[in-house]
């Protein structure tokens, strides 16, 4: 067991003697070599929980143990066990990615630091061409990749990644997920903190959906999805955000995000749904569509919005 969190509660004072329960009786654990996804909207309480795991905040109630040792009693030890990529960009200034990552590697590994690992990481993430470019001249995506490399160049036994793919292009996101999985193959455990639910489903071994300080569901992606619904879902890419299109009567619920429309259906209506989607394409309303089982995104929206399913 790498991490054991038991009944953690954190309350922040508000205005006029009011209080906000930011973490409400949270319990979970992480095994060696596991990727644990912590999913939630901004303000769900994810960062507060991470700061308590790192010993930067003390829980009002509950206990946190890293490798069997209390974080509350030994916060400095906890930070030596963990490597962190924060959500905010680490400023590089005039440092190049290679200089920044090398410096972090030497700080964490000391005489055991292997400079070849910098080159291996940069090649794996396809960022060699920017290795010697000053930080202030880098794009947001390359800076984000550099921050990631700084976190994993000499990883602790638990790596905490807070929105690691922000600003990163789709191709290098795939490379990044592979590097993360390679870490776990060596026994490192990972906490992935994100609101990008679609990406997380492909990357994590287990997941917890967090909302207003509480865990609404926890388990493998399959466990979480089946706890919400065994329905099917159809996703359509519309020609534009506002389309005068009639939703079929058998659609159980809908979710619109820009030109992306998603709704759930009973498996018995699959053929009717496909015929309807083809008709929308023929009329010029829809560019493309896909049919699939319920996803983690569906479960996330259903749980956080208290709807049946999206």
Check residue 149 and give its pLDDT.
97
How far apart CA 166 and CA 118 sit, in angstroms, is 21
| pLDDT score of 299 | 84
Per residue, the 3-state secondary structure of 226-290, as one string, reads: HHHCCCEEEEEEECCCCCCCCCCCCCCCEEEECCEEEEEECHHHHHHHHHHHHHHHHCCCEEEEE
Average pLDDT of adjacent 10-residue blocks, the chain of 310 residues = 97 86 97 95 93 96 97 94 90 93 94 95 97 94 96 96 92 94 93 85 92 94 81 90 84 84 90 94 93 85 62
Read off the pTM.
0.83
Q: Identify the pLDDT of residue 18.
A: 84
Q: Give dist(CA 152, CA 142) in Å, integer.
A: 15
What gap in Å lies between CA 292 and CA 9, rounded to an integer?
37
What is the C-alpha to C-alpha distance for residues 284 and 302, in angstroms, rounded to an integer? 30
Cα-based angle 104, 33, 159 (whole degrees, multiple of 5): 30
* pLDDT of 310: 37
pLDDT at position 306: 60
How confident is the model at residue 254, as a pLDDT? Answer: 83
Q: Are 36 and 204 in contact (CB under 8 A)?
A: yes
């Amino acid at each position: 067991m790498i991490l054991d969190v038991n009944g953690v509660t954190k309350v922040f004072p508000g205005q006029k003697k009011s209080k906000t329960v930011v973490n409400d009786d949270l319990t979970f654990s992480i095994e060696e070599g596991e990727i644990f996804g912590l999913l939630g909207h901004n303000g769900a309480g994810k960062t507060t929980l991470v700061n308590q795991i790192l010993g930067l905040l003390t829980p009002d109630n509950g206990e946190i143990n890293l490798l069997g040792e209390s974080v509350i009693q030994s916060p400095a030890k906890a930070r030596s066990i963990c490597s962190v990529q924060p959500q905010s960009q680490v400023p590089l200034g005039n440092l190049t990615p290679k200089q920044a990552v090398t410096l972090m590697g030497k700080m964490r590994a000391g005489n055991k630091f292997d400079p070849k690992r910098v080159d291996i990481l940069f090649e794996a993430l396809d960022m060699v061409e920017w290795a010697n470019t000053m930080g202030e001249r880098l794009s947001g995506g390359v800076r984000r990749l550099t921050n990631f490399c700084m976190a994993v160049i000499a990883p602790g036994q638990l790596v905490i990644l807070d929105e690691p793919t922000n600003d990163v292009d789709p191709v290098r996101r795939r490379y990044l997920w592979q590097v993360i999985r390679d870490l776990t193959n060596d026994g490192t455990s990972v906490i992935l903190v994100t609101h990008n639910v679609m990406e997380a489903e492909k990357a994590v071994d287990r997941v917890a959906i967090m909302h207003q300080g509480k865990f609404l569901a926890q388990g493998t992606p399959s466990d979480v999805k089946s706890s919400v619904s065994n329905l099917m879902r159809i996703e359509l890419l519309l020609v534009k955000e506002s389309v005068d299109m009639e939703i079929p009567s058998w659609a159980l619920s809908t979710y619109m995000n820009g030109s992306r429309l998603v709704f759930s259906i009973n498996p018995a209506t699959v053929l009717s749904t496909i015929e309807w989607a083809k008709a929308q394409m023929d009329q010029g309303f829809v560019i493309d569509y896909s049919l699939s089982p319920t996803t983690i995104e569906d479960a996330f929206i259903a749980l956080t919005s208290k709807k049946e399913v999206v």
